[in-house]
Amino acid sequence: TDIEKGTYPHFMLKEIDEQPLVMRKIIQAYQNEDGNLEIDSDIKQAMGATDRIYIIACGTSYHAGLVGKQLIEKLAKIPVEVHLASEFGYNMPLLSAKPIFIFISQSGETADSRAVLVKVKEMGHCAITITNVPGSTLSREADYTMLLHAGPEIAVASTKAYTAQVAVLAILASDAGAATGAKAELDVVKELGIVASAMETLCNSKEEFEKIATEYLAVAFDCFFIGRSVDYYVGLEGALKLKEISYIQAEGFAGGELKHGTIALIERHTPVIALATQFGVNGAIRANVREVAARGASTCIISMKGLETEGDRFVLPAVHELLTPLVSVIPLQLISYYAALHRGCDVDKPRNLAKSVTVE
């Protein structure tokens, strides 16, 4: 209703703006008396005893899971596989000897994810649900729950739930690292605080992203998001946002894979949005941008402070390299929002989509 939207024209914009606050709420919710971030001791024990984690999710939550894989593998040194619930249910991979399952679901009600949860519980495996809704079906049916503390998300296109999922996964990964004996690499309280401030800066730069949306997407038929490493995962989420609310054909691609097929699609003025937030692949992604630019693409590089080059369209404030998705996704959310707005789309209620899909 209008009251809940306050002065905002759409829930989506309100929810994008809430992200810095959500980061702070998550820090508070997971902080112990010593000021450190801590997960439930049973979850920590389960993480310490497993030989492989299987993350199961759909849509935006699946994209958060991809980022979570990187966080858990780097910070806790446990191998992780990420699976789409709708695929896993029908085509289960060979499981490891001591698997545990993490279900990521904003609503906690997604039928595809629930079907897998029921199956793995029947098999006797341990399941953790990461959800925004306490008491939801996936929360009740799993062994353990970690809450997102994002507050109700009303817009169909998920924004603050995604960043909350990534932040909670970072806390899980970092504290699980203590259980597996991995060296602590991330001061999560400090780094999430830096993220929250960076998010604020981005939420205060809306005109920039509106300009990018009008310039690149006002009349576009398609749009590509490219990145390498974790930027590739964020690109997948950027493409999903744009598809969901603006109906522009959009895809996320791994920068290095372009030459193996996708580059055939590049024409004069094809919009290509590239993320460059990772030191190790900065040169390589920029080479990919040059390849598509040479074929006529309209390129837009969003880089991170410290890695920027002249001509970059936007430079994100610096955050810890493992937490860049929390900030790099915000320009993509806002670009999608303004693209949809200017194309006259129903931002909060896109056609054919439901907020939570409770049928298989």
Binding status of residue 159 toward ligand G6P by CB under 6 A: no
- Closest approach, Cβ 273 to ligand G6P, in A, equals 20
| C-beta of 172 vs 285, nearer to ligand G6P | 172
Confirm or reject binding of residue 118 to ligand G6P (CB under 6 A).
Answer: no
Binding mask 43-62 for ligand G6P (x = CB under 6 A): ---------------xxxx-
Binding flag, residue 238, ligand G6P (CB under 6 A)? no
Binding residue for ligand G6P, selected from 107, 270, 277, 333, defined by CB under 6 A: 107
State which of residues 19, 70, 113, 246 lies at the interface with ligand G6P (CB under 6 A): 113
Burial class (CB in 10 A: 0-12, 13-18, 19+), 293: middle
Nearer to ligand G6P, 295 or 355 (CB): 355
Terminal CA-CA length for the chain: 29
Q: Where on the phi/psi map is residue 71: left (φ > 0), alpha (ψ -120 to 50), or beta?
A: alpha
Give, in order, the Cα–Cα distances in Å from 263 to each of 206, 272, 293.
31, 11, 11
How far apart are alpha carbons 116 and 228 in whole angstroms?
30
Could you say which of 50, 106, 129, 246 contacts ligand G6P (CB under 6 A)? 106
Q: Applying CB under 6 A, does 105 fall inside the site for ligand G6P?
A: yes
Strand pairing class (222-227; 271-276): parallel
123 is a site residue for ligand G6P (CB under 6 A): no
Q: Identify the residue whose tokens are 């896993």.
A: 88
Q: In what order do the strands lie in the sheet with 144-147?
A: 80-84, 52-57, 99-105, 126-131, 144-147
Q: Is 69 a catalytic residue?
A: no
Closer to ligand G6P by CB, 23 or 156: give it: 156
Give the β-pairing of 80-84 and 52-57: parallel
How far are the Cα atoms of 22, 147, 183, 224, 322 from residue 172, in angstroms, in the given order?
17, 11, 14, 32, 14
Nearer Cβ to ligand G6P (77/355): 355
Q: Is 145 in the site for ligand G6P (CB under 6 A)?
A: no
Footprint on this chain of ligand G6P (rule: CB under 6 A): 58-61, 105-107, 110, 113, 156, 158, 353, 355-357
Residues annotated catalytic, as ranges: 355
